[in-house]
Amino acid sequence: MNLNRVQHSVSSGVVALIGLWVCWVSFTQQPSEAFLFPRMISTVFVLLALWTFAKAVLGWSKVGTGIYAKHFTNMLPGLLIALIYVFWAAKGLGFYTSTSMAFFILLSLYDPASHTEIRTWVKRLIITAVFMVVMYGLFAKLLKVYTPREIFF
Amino acid sequence: MEFIYYFENVFQPMSFLLLLVGTIGGLILGATPGLSPTMAVALLIPFTFHLEAAQGLILLGAAYTSTVAGGAVSAILLKIPGAPANIATTLDGHTMAKKGKGARALQLSFLASAVGGVFGVLLLIFLTPVLAKWALAFGPSHLFWLAIIGVTIIGSLDSASVVKGLLSGCIGLWLATIGFDDIMGAQRFIFHPALGGGINIIAALIGLFAIPQVLSMFAEGRKDANVEVIEVEKSSLANAIRELFSHTRALSIGTVTGSVIGLIPGVGGQIAGLVAYDQSRKFSPEREKFGTGHSEGVIAAESANNAMVGPSLVPLLTLSIPGSPTAAVLLGGLLIHGIFPGTDLFDNHPDVAWTFINSMLIGQILMCMFGLYIAGLAARVAQVPKSIMAAIVLGLAVFGSYSVQSSMGDVYVMATLGIMMYFLERFGFSAAPLVLGLILGPIAEANFIQGSMIANATDGMGAYFLGGNMNIFLIAIVVASIGYSVGMELRERTRNSTAGEAS
C-alpha cells in the first residue's frame, strides 16, 4: 500500500468513525423526537462515509493530493504556534499580548528575508507594531470589543 | 420599481462610507493572490455584526463585487489570478501587459466588469421580486427540499468528487444539529462546553474559509513572493471606452453568459469567465488573435465574471439557496441579523433588501472608478510576502470570531473547524458544501419537523414529502444535479484513463 493510499484510508476512516458515532448517538439518545432529523442525516452520512472509506482502502480514491512530507514539516511550526496562541495564550496572556507575540514569531519564522541582518528584524518589529495598533483601533476603540485581561496591563 | 425609493439610503454618510471602504478594500484584497473573495467576505462578517443589517450587507456586497474585479489586477500584471473567476483574464490580459498595454488591459477589464456587473444587478433587481412572490406558495415540504437542493447542488457541482462533496454537506448538516434542540430542549452532540450554544455560524465561516488558507501559506515555507510586476504606463481612458464599445460582440457574449451562469446555483465565476472567453473566441472573426494579447479576451472574461455576481444572489435572496460559496457567506450575514431570505426579506425588510441591491449597483460604478486608479497600488500589495498575509489573517480570524459574542468558545470552534478543514481539503473534501449544510441545516430541520407534524395529521410522511408536483420537481433537481455530476466525473475518469493508455 503506497503512502497516498494509506493517507486516504486514514482520513476517510476517521470521517467514517465520526459518522458511525453520530449515527449511534442519533439512534440511541432520547427523546427520539429531538433526534429525528439527526437520524436521517446520519444515515446518509454513514453510508457515504463508508463508501468513501471502502474506495480509499481499495485504492480508488483519486481526488485530493494528500499531505506531502515537505509541506507538513513546513507547516508544523506555524500550526503549533497557532495552536498555542488560540488554545492557551489568547486567554492566558491576553489577546493583544499574545497576538503581538504570535504575529512576530510567525512573521520571523516564515519571512524569506534575511535572519542575520538587524534591519530586517527592525522591519518585522515595525510591521508587528503597526498591525497591533490597527487591531487595537479597530476592535477596542471602534467596535468596543472587551477582550480577556492582559497579563502586562 | 420599488427599488428606486431606497436609493437615498445608499447615499447616507455611513452607508456610503462603508460602500467606499468595501469597494477599495475589496479591490486590494481581490488583487492579492491567495486571499479568495469568499475568505475576504467571511473575515468582514464580524464587523457587520456591529452594524445595522443594511449597512452590514452594503459592506459585504461591495467587498464581494470588487474582490472579483480586483482579481483581474494580479491576473493582468502578475499572471496570477486573484481569484478563480479571473483565470480566463490571464490568457490575454497578461500578454497585453507584456506588450506594454497593461494600462489598457486594466481599463478594459474594469470597464467591462462595470458593464457586466450593472447588467447582472439589473437582472437581480427585476427577477428577485417575481421569484420571491412565487416562493410565497411554498410550504414546509418545499422549503425542506429547497434547503436540501442548496446542499446537494453545491456538494455535487462545486466539488471534484460528488461523494466527497455530498459527504461534506452531510458533515455540515450534522454540525448544524449540535447544541440544544429548539423544540424538545434536548442536548444534542454537546461533547465540549464550548458547544453548548451550538456552532456559531460566523466563527465557523471564518474558520472554514480563513484557517485552511493560513495553513496552506505556512505549508509553502519561506517562499519569496518573487513575482515581477509589470509597470503600468499612462493610457487614455476615452480611447479605452471607445475600444470597449468597438467590441460589443465580446461584451454582449460575456455579459449574457455571465448572467445566465450566475443564475445557476453552484456554477461559479471561474466557469462564467472561461465559457464567455471560449464563446467569444468561437464567434470572433479574429479568433486566431485570442491568447496573443487580444482585448476581446479580456472584455469577455471580465464582463462575464462580474455579470455573474448579481444573478448569483437571485436564488439566495428568493429561495435561500446560495449560488456560490460567497453567496453562502452573505446568507450568514443576513441570518445573524435575524433576517431570512425570500418573502420575509422583501415583505418585512424591504429597506434592507433594496438598499443592499441598490448599493451593489452603485458599487459597480465605484469599483470601476477606483479600480482604474488604484490598480498599480493593488499590484504592489499583491507582492506582500505570504508570511505577513498568514499572520494578519490568523490575527483577524481570532479577533473576528471572538468579537461576535465575546466568547472564547467561538475562537476554539473557529480554530478546530479550520484545522479540520485544511486536512479534509487535502483529501478532496470541500468547504463550500460543508458551510451550506451548516447554514441551511436549521432551515431544513425546522421545515422537516413542521412538515412531519402536518404529515402526521394528514396523509402521512410519504405523501406529504414526496407527493405533489412541486415536491417532485424539487426532488428531480436534486437527482439531476447529482446524476449530472456523477456523469461528468465518470466521463473525466474515462478520458483520463484513455489519455493514460495513449501515452
3-state secondary structure chain A: CCHHHHHHHHHHHHHHHHHHHHHHHHHHCCCHHHHHHHHHHHHHHHHHHHHHHHHHHCCCCCCCCCCCHHHHHHHHHHHHHHHHHHHHHHHHCCHHHHHHHHHHHHHHHHCCCCCCCHHHHHHHHHHHHHHHHHHHHHHHHHCCCCCCCCCCC
**3-class secondary-structure state, position B223:** coil
Cell 450566475 locates to: B262
Predicted pLDDT of residue B49: 79
C-alpha cell at B447: 421545515
Predicted pLDDT of residue B32: 72
Asked if B159 contacts B169 with a C-beta cutoff of 8 angstroms, the reply is no
Confidence of residue A79 (pLDDT cuts 50, 70, 90): very high
C-alpha cell at A65: 493530493
Taking the CA of residue B128 as centre, how many other CA atoms within 13 Å lie in the half-sphere pointing to its CB? 33
Which region, left, alpha or beta, applies to residue B290 given φ > 0 means left and ψ of -120 to 50 means alpha?
Answer: beta
Predicted pLDDT of residue B502: 64
Alpha carbon B316 to chain centroid, angstroms: 11
Which among B219, B392, B403 has CB closest to A71? B219
Picking from B171, B134, B139, B166, the residue whose alpha carbon sits closest to that of residue B153 is B166
Which among B177, B217, B387 has CB closest to A38? B177
Residue B241: Cβ within 10 Å count? 13
**3-class secondary-structure state, position B236:** coil
B344 contacts: CB under 8 Å, gap ≥ 6: none
Q: Which amino acid is it at B384?
A: V
Counted residue by residue, chain A has a size of 153
Asked if A104 contacts A128 with a C-beta cutoff of 8 angstroms, the reply is yes
Predicted pLDDT of residue B233: 72
Asked if B474 contacts B149 with a C-beta cutoff of 8 angstroms, the reply is yes
Beta carbons of A66 and B426 less than 8 Å apart: yes
- The dihedral built from the CA positions of residue B444, B449, B450 and B456, taken in this order, carries a sign that is positive
- B264-281 b/e (C-beta count within 10 Å ≥ 16 → b): bbbbbbbbbbbbbbbbbb
Round to the nearest angstrom and report the end-to-end CA distance of chain B. Answer: 60
Peptide bond into A31 cis (omega under 30): yes
pLDDT: which is higher, A125 or A115: A125
C-alpha angle B162-B308-B384 in degrees, rounded to nearest 5 = 85
A131 and chain B: CB distance < 8 Å anywhere? yes
Show me where the domains of chain A are located. 3-57, 69-142
Element spanning B188, H or E: strand B187-188
Beta carbons of A51 and B221 less than 8 Å apart: no
A16 and chain B: CB distance < 8 Å anywhere? no
**3-class secondary-structure state, position B179:** strand
Which region, left, alpha or beta, applies to residue A148 given φ > 0 means left and ψ of -120 to 50 means alpha?
Answer: beta
Rounded to the nearest angstrom, the minimum Cα separation between A107 and chain B is: 5
Which among B161, B174, B399 has CB closest to A95? B399
Q: Does residue A105 carry a pLDDT above 90?
A: yes
Asked if B428 contacts B160 with a C-beta cutoff of 8 angstroms, the reply is yes
Predicted pLDDT of residue B45: 83
- Say what the pTM is: 0.81
Rounded to the nearest angstrom, the minimum Cα separation between A1 and chain B is: 17
Beta carbons of A102 and B391 less than 8 Å apart: yes
**3-class secondary-structure state, position B255:** helix
Rounded to the nearest angstrom, the minimum Cα separation between A152 and chain B is: 19
For residues B198 and B176, give the distance between their C-alpha atoms in angstroms, rounded to a whole number.
7
B184 and chain A: CB distance < 8 Å anywhere? yes
Confidence of residue A82 (pLDDT cuts 50, 70, 90): very high
Rounded to the nearest angstrom, the minimum Cα separation between B223 and chain A is: 6
Residue B187 φ then ψ, to 5°:
-80, 135
Cell 459592506 locates to: B59
Picking from B40, B38, B60, the residue whose alpha carbon sits closest to that of residue B49 is B60
- B369-408 b/e (C-beta count within 10 Å ≥ 16 → b): ebbbebbeebbebbbebbbbbbbbbbbbbbbbbbbbeebb
Predicted pLDDT of residue B147: 84
Which among A67, A82, A113 has CB closest to B426? A67
Counted residue by residue, chain B has a size of 503
Residues of B in contact with A58 (CB under 8 A): none
* Strand partners of residue B188: B179
For residues B355 and B317, give the distance between their C-alpha atoms in angstroms, rounded to a whole number.
13
For residues B25 and A131, give the distance between their C-alpha atoms in angstroms, rounded to a whole number.
16
Residues of A in contact with B186 (CB under 8 A): 29-31, 34-35
Asked if B296 contacts B96 with a C-beta cutoff of 8 angstroms, the reply is no
Contacts A–B by Cβ distance under 8 A: 185
Residues of A in contact with B408 (CB under 8 A): 90-91, 148
| Domain tally, chain B | 1
Predicted pLDDT of residue A45: 92
Residues of B in contact with A45 (CB under 8 A): 167, 170-171, 173-174
Predicted pLDDT of residue A100: 93
Predicted pLDDT of residue A1: 58
**3-class secondary-structure state, position B484:** helix
- Which domain range does residue B133 map to? 2-502
Question: Which residue in chain A is spatially nearest to B398 when comparing CA positions?
Answer: A86
Per-residue pLDDT of chain B (503 residues; tens, 9 = 90+): 777 888 888 888 999 999 999 888 888 877 776 667 778 888 888 888 778 888 888 998 888 888 877 888 878 887 777 777 778 888 888 888 888 888 888 888 889 999 998 999 898 888 887 777 777 777 888 888 888 888 887 777 666 788 888 899 999 999 999 988 877 778 888 888 878 788 888 888 889 888 998 898 888 887 765 556 666 677 777 888 888 888 889 899 999 988 888 877 666 666 778 888 888 888 888 878 888 888 888 899 889 888 888 888 888 888 777 767 788 888 888 887 777 777 777 778 888 888 888 898 898 888 888 887 776 666 666 667 778 888 988 998 898 888 878 888 889 999 999 999 999 988 888 888 898 888 888 888 888 888 888 888 887 888 888 888 888 988 998 888 888 878 877 787 777 777 666 65
Cell 463585487 locates to: B65
B491 contacts: CB under 8 Å, gap ≥ 6: none
Beta carbons of B449 and A44 less than 8 Å apart: no
C-alpha angle A75-A80-A84 in degrees, rounded to nearest 5 = 150
Looking at residue B30, the DSSP 8-state letter turns out to be H
For residues B338 and B49, give the distance between their C-alpha atoms in angstroms, rounded to a whole number.
11
Picking from B244, B203, B166, the residue whose alpha carbon sits closest to that of residue B432 is B166
Picking from B147, B110, B340, B98, the residue whose alpha carbon sits closest to that of residue B240 is B110
Residues of B in contact with A67 (CB under 8 A): 423, 426
Instruction: Decide the pairing of beta strands B179-180 and B187-188.
Output: antiparallel
C-alpha cell at A17: 468513525
Rounded to the nearest angstrom, the minimum Cα separation between A72 and chain B is: 6
B166 and chain A: CB distance < 8 Å anywhere? yes
Rounded to the nearest angstrom, the minimum Cα separation between B425 and chain A is: 7
Instruction: Give residue-wise pLDDT tens across range A3-55.
Output: 678 888 888 899 999 999 999 999 998 888 888 889 999 999 999 999 999 98
Asked if B17 contacts B363 with a C-beta cutoff of 8 angstroms, the reply is no
Residues of B in contact with A127 (CB under 8 A): 388
Predicted pLDDT of residue B268: 61
Asked if B60 contacts B48 with a C-beta cutoff of 8 angstroms, the reply is yes
Predicted pLDDT of residue A126: 94
For residues A136 and B159, give the distance between their C-alpha atoms in angstroms, rounded to a whole number.
39
